[in-house]
Amino acid sequence: MKQTPHSLIYFGITAALVTAFASALMPASAAQTGSANVAVVVRDFNNPYWRALRDGAVDQGKKLGVPVTVQAGSTETDSIGENAKISTMANQSFTCFGVVPINATNVITPLIPVSKKGTPIINLDTGLDAGAVKSAGLNITSFIGSDNSRAGAIAGDYMLKLLGGTGKVVILLGIPGEQNGINREAAFRKTIAGKLTVVQTAVADYERPKALTVVESILKVHPDITGIFSANDEMGLGAAQAIANAGKQGKIKVISIDGVTEALAAVKSGKLSATVSQYPYAEGEMAVSACHALAAGKTIPAKVESPIQLITADNAGKAIASFPRPFFTFDNPFGP
C-alpha cells in the first residue's frame, strides 16, 4: 500500500501547530537593547500576588529598556516545575536572576550552576534559609521583599484598635510550613498577646472556598468571636463571605494581608475591615532595577525592604486608584 498512513497526517498537523505557536510567540526581535537580560521566576501565575510581581518586573523592564523574562511553576507548591524553569533558563544568556522560592530551600540547589557562572541572584519575597544557602555555597546578592513580620504586627495593632483591646479572635493560616505565613502569624500573636484571646487556629491553604467552609464551622462553635485574622486576602475574603452569610457582617472584624484588588474593594465597601497591602508590583520593579544597576557595575544593598501599608476604608480609594503601585512614596534605593 502506497497511501500515506493517517498517522503521518496527524503528526504533520501537530508539528505545524507547534511550530506556528512557537514562532508566533517568539520575541519580536532578539536584539540586545542593553547589557542586562533579566530572568524572574515566581511560584505560579494563578495567584494575583505573583501576577502583580510579574507585571511590575515587566513594566520596569520596558521603562529601562531591559529585556525581562518571567516564568513560573503551575501551582503554589509545584517545586518540580519551578526548578525545571530555573534549570532551563540557567543555560540561557541571562545576566541576572530574581527568584521567589516556594519554601526556605527548594531553589537553592538548582541555582548553584547560576551562581557558579557568577550571575547575580536576587531572592524575592520569601526568604531563603541563610544556613542552607551558606552550606550549599550559593551566592545570593540581595533580598527584596516585604517584611512579613512587620505586616503581621501592623495587623495585630489594628485589630487591637478595632476591638478596643479585648476580645476573642480566630486565626486563619495558609499552607502549613510556608515561611511568610509563619512570620505573619507569629508577629500577630506577639502583638496581641495578653490582650486578645485566640480561640481557634485553622488552616485553609490560602484558598477562598476552604476559608469559607472553615469559618462557617467556626462560627457555630465560637459564635462570640469578634475578629478574624487571615494570613492572606483570599482567605480573608472567604471569611468575610461566611460572616455575611451568617448575618454577622460588621460584628466580626476581618483583617488580612496581601492587598489584592478585590480585597481593596472589599475594604472600601466595608466587607473586609482592613488589609495590609504588600506591593509585589514594587518588588518586581525593584528586582529589575537592581539587575539593571548591577549590570551597570553598581553595588546594591544586601536587603531591600519593599513597602507595606495598612489599608482601611479611609485610604482604600487611593489604594485602588493607583493599584498595583503604592499610592505613597517609599524608600526606593534604586531611585524614585
Q: How far is the CB of 176 from other proteins (least distance, A)?
A: 4
Q: Is 25 in the site for other proteins (CB under 8 A)?
A: yes
Question: 54 or 268, CB closer to other proteins?
Answer: 54
Residues 96-125 binding other proteins (CB under 8 A) are: 102-110, 112-113
Q: Is 201 in the site for other proteins (CB under 8 A)?
A: no
Q: How far is the CB of 171 from other proteins (least distance, A)?
A: 14
Q: How far is the CB of 111 from other proteins (least distance, A)?
A: 10
Q: Is 135 in the site for other proteins (CB under 8 A)?
A: yes
With CB under 8 A as the contact rule, the residue among 47, 60, 83, 191 that binds other proteins is 83
Q: Which whole-number Å values give the CA distances from 276 to 74, 201, 316, in the listed order?
A: 26, 20, 11
* Calpha distance 318→38 (Å, rounded): 31
The grid coordinates of residue 21 equal 505557536
Closest CA to 48 of 324, 240, 266: 324
* Calpha distance 127→182 (Å, rounded): 12
Q: Is 5 in the site for other proteins (CB under 8 A)?
A: yes
* Calpha distance 330→324 (Å, rounded): 14
Cα 43–44–49 angle (5° rounding)?
85
> Per DSSP, what are the bridge partners of residue 72?
42
Question: 44 or 147, CB closer to other proteins?
Answer: 44
Q: How far is the CB of 295 from other proteins (least distance, A)?
A: 20
Q: Is 15 in the site for other proteins (CB under 8 A)?
A: yes
Q: Is 220 in the site for other proteins (CB under 8 A)?
A: no
Backbone angles phi and psi of 99, in degrees to 5:
-130, 130
Q: Is 328 in the site for other proteins (CB under 8 A)?
A: no
Among 174-182, 192-200, 217-225, 317-325, which window interacts with other proteins (CB under 8 A)? 174-182
Q: Based on C-alpha coordinates, what's the Rg of the chain?
A: 23
Q: With beta carbons less than 8 A apart as the criterion, state whether 231 and 172 touch.
A: yes
Q: How far is the CB of 273 from other proteins (least distance, A)?
A: 27
Q: Is 32 in the site for other proteins (CB under 8 A)?
A: no
Q: Is 176 in the site for other proteins (CB under 8 A)?
A: yes
Q: With beta carbons less than 8 A apart as the criterion, state whether 39 and 89 touch.
A: yes
Identify the three-state secondary structure at position 149: helix
Q: Is 87 in the site for other proteins (CB under 8 A)?
A: yes
* Calpha distance 306→119 (Å, rounded): 23
Q: Is 31 in the site for other proteins (CB under 8 A)?
A: no
Kindly write down the DSSP assignment for every residue of 46-74, as one continuous string.
Answer: SSHHHHHHHHHHHHHHHHHT--EEEEE-S
Kindly write down the DSSP assignment for every residue of 76-125, as one continuous string.
Answer: TT-HHHHHHHHHHHHTS--SEEEE--SSSSTTHHHHHHHHHTT--EEEES
Determine how many CB atoms are found less than 10 A away from the CB of residue 328: 11
Give the number of residues in contact with other proteins, rule: CB under 8 A: 61
The grid coordinates of residue 266 equal 472589599
Q: Is 204 in the site for other proteins (CB under 8 A)?
A: no
Q: Is 209 in the site for other proteins (CB under 8 A)?
A: no
Measured over all CA atoms, what is the biggest interatomic distance in the chain, rounded to whole angstroms?
87
Q: Is 1 in the site for other proteins (CB under 8 A)?
A: yes
Question: 25 or 302, CB closer to other proteins?
Answer: 25
Q: Is 321 in the site for other proteins (CB under 8 A)?
A: no
Q: Is 178 in the site for other proteins (CB under 8 A)?
A: yes
Residues that bind other proteins (CB under 8 A): 1, 5-8, 10-11, 13-15, 17-19, 21-23, 25-27, 45, 69, 71-75, 77-81, 83-85, 87-92, 102-110, 112-113, 129, 131-132, 135-136, 175-178, 182
